[in-house]
Amino acid sequence: MSKGRPAHVDKPVRVHNAIPESIYNRTQIILYSELEGRVPYGAMSTLVSSLLRDWLETRELDLTAFGILGKVRGQQETISQLTQMLINLQRKERE
């Protein structure tokens, strides 16, 4: 029987990244734990992983092609359905 931590299903990879100091400072304030007196170990990594996972699972649709100012962001399937609905509306308007 081996000792230590169990193996990760999705092995973490160390990434070095630079962000603006103002964003870092705001993040540290939000993640700070009064109980621990510091930002908990792994809190920043958990936040970044969560944000990246969300970003990967969602898509953005620029609505200007449909004559609407702005963009919407959502689940890939939702964006696909919305795109199809807007295309169908454009076709009906042309008839």
Q: What is the pLDDT of residue 49?
A: 95
Domain span at residue 83 reads: 58-94
Looking at the structure, do residues 52 and 72 belong to the same domain, yes or no? no
* Length of the chain in terms of residues written: 95
Cα separation, 44 vs 16, in Å, equals 12
Q: Give the contacts of 60 (CB within 8 A, at least 6 positions apart).
A: 71, 72, 73, 79
> Per the structure, how many domains does the chain have?
2
Q: At residue 4, does pLDDT exceed 70? A: yes
In a domain, 26, yes or no: yes
Residue 1 tokens, joined: 């029987």
pTM more than 0.75: no
25-37: b or e for each residue (b if 16 or more CB lie within 10 Å)? eebeeeeeeeeee
